[in-house]
Amino acid sequence: MAVSVPSPKVGRHPVQTPPPVAADQAPTAPASLWGWLDDRLGLSALRYHIPAHANTIWYTLGGITFMGIVVLVVTGAWLSQYYNPDPIAARESVLYIQNVAPLGDILRGIHVWTAYLVVITAALHLIRVFVTASYKVPREVNWLVGAALLGMLYFGAVFSGTMLRWDQEAYEAMAHNMELASFLGAVGGFFSHTFTTSVSMLPRLYGLHVSIVPLLLVLLLIAHFFLIKHHGISPTPAQAERGEAPGGRLPRAKETGHYPTHLRMMVGYGLALLGLAGMLSVVFPQEIGPAADPTMEVTKPPFVFYWVYPFEDWFGVRGMLYAILGLWAFLAALPFVDRTPYRGLRQRPVVVAVGLALLVAVLALSVMTAVKPPVAHIGG
């Protein structure tokens, strides 16, 4: 006799089909780790639409600079565990980093070389923005934020960092810093011994290097990235000329670039920058000079500051201040002086000629300093 097997539907415990769930209430099953994180943290809000031309190295230089800043923060955090900002102990603590601290010499080398490299990548990024006329409407304010970022990175972070090793070169840099600050009157008051007698200049400078400057850099970076997302990446001069970007903004349909590729390029080039800094720190290790002798002036600044040095020969310490202020005044005025809608190089002959002359001057002055022996200006 055949035994009939009851169907589950007709057994004592029938299987219930769950009631249908509205689509917007259905539990999502993110396919990837990114999906899972995005679901919880809203990471895709940071994403922005990019045109295809943004996936080239020229439009990744800002991102590479950002990656360099990340390397500076990480290596700097390690160095801060061993550095002692007391003027009596500072130089010794740098020797400790070089000779005793685990990975100290290589991480110090990477920190210092990355600092010089980000000045170069930031300058190349500025040149790209200048060449593509991306400082024009509606990105004038972001250009100013960028100029402030460069100033903060160059003088706030890199120049203050060169003084921390507290050897002869650092001491001379500090003497110049104090002299320059005295010309700035109340604005430069922070860099004077009279600002406070409770703590000396070096620990205050260290405080600036590790807390105030990074905080300001982060605030400026937030503003910079917010404005990049807000405006979108600028059109190429050719696109602008063809009238494809009314008001300097590309329509969404033209923003066909693949964003993950952009991020991958940023990280990839960032790692290459780290590799280059690592290689340079092995081939050209960061030395530490002799203990400071306040009666002498015998060193030159690091090469990224070479272009300012001849102004001191010609016009005294004040000359350096004027050169720096002059360059930043040009950067600040540019988007408000060049108000034509043209973005091609040939259509902006005056601005391009001035920009080119400044670039050639910076390079020529740097080479001049490189080949000349150092000259005493202060206390010599």
Tokens of 125: 């990024």
Q: Which of 54-62, 100-108, 192-200, 352-360 is the region at the interface with ligand HEM (rule: CB under 6 A)? A: 54-62
Q: Which of 346, 368, 313, 291 is nearest to 133 (CA)?
A: 346
Nearer to ligand HEM, 144 or 375 (CB): 144
Q: Tell me the C-alpha distance between 14 and 314, whole Å.
A: 96
Q: Residue 210 interacts with ligand HEM (CB under 6 A)? A: no
Q: Which of residues 222-281 bind ligand HEM (CB under 6 A)?
A: 224, 228, 233-234
φ and ψ of 197, to 5 deg = -105, 0
Q: Which of 79-87, 142-150, 292-300, 356-364 is the region at the interface with ligand HEM (rule: CB under 6 A)? A: 142-150
The distance of closest approach from Cβ of residue 207 to ligand HEM in the complex, given in angstroms and rounded to an integer, is 22
Choosing from 78, 113, 135, 306, the residue that interacts with ligand HEM (CB under 6 A) is 135
Q: Which of residues 144-163 bind ligand HEM (CB under 6 A)?
A: 146-147, 149-150, 153
Q: Which of 58-66, 100-108, 277-285, 303-311 is the region at the interface with ligand HEM (rule: CB under 6 A)? A: 58-66
Q: Tell me the C-alpha distance between 56 and 373, whole Å.
A: 40
Choosing from 75, 142, 162, 236, the residue that interacts with ligand HEM (CB under 6 A) is 142
The distance of closest approach from Cβ of residue 224 to ligand HEM in the complex, given in angstroms and rounded to an integer, is 6
Nearer to ligand HEM, 162 or 168 (CB): 162
How far the first Cα of the chain sits from its last, in Å, is 118
Residues touching ligand HEM, count (CB under 6 A): 27
Nearer to ligand HEM, 115 or 202 (CB): 115
Tokens of 1: 């006799």
**CB of 96 within 8 A of CB of 272?**
no
Q: Tell me the C-alpha distance between 59 and 61, whole Å.
A: 6
Q: Tell me the C-alpha distance between 68 and 280, whole Å.
A: 15
Q: Residue 61 interacts with ligand HEM (CB under 6 A)? A: yes
Q: How many CA atoms lie within 13 A of 229 on its CB side?
A: 12
Q: Which of 348, 261, 309, 200 is nearest to 55 (CA)?
A: 261
Nearer to ligand HEM, 94 or 129 (CB): 129
Tokens 């790209």 correspond to what residue? Answer: 128
CA distances from 320 to 74, 177, 272, 314, 315 (A): 32, 11, 34, 9, 8
The distance of closest approach from Cβ of residue 41 to ligand HEM in the complex, given in angstroms and rounded to an integer, is 21
The distance of closest approach from Cβ of residue 284 to ligand HEM in the complex, given in angstroms and rounded to an integer, is 24
Nearer to ligand HEM, 192 or 261 (CB): 261
**CB of 174 within 8 A of CB of 299?**
no
Choosing from 129, 205, 304, 321, the residue that interacts with ligand HEM (CB under 6 A) is 129
Cα radius of gyration rounded to whole Å, the chain: 27
Q: Residue 377 interacts with ligand HEM (CB under 6 A)? A: no
Q: Residue 286 interacts with ligand HEM (CB under 6 A)? A: no
Q: Residue 351 interacts with ligand HEM (CB under 6 A)? A: no
Q: Tell me the C-alpha distance between 188 and 207, whole Å.
A: 16
Q: Which of 38-46, 56-64, 174-182, 310-318 is the region at the interface with ligand HEM (rule: CB under 6 A)? A: 56-64
What is the separation of C-alpha 98 from the centre of its chain, rounded to a whole number of angstroms? 26
Q: Residue 324 interacts with ligand HEM (CB under 6 A)? A: no
Where are any strands of DSSP class E within the chain? Answer: none
Contact positions vs ligand HEM (CB under 6 A): 59-63, 65-66, 122, 125-126, 129, 132, 134-135, 139, 142-143, 146-147, 149-150, 153, 224, 228, 233-234, 331
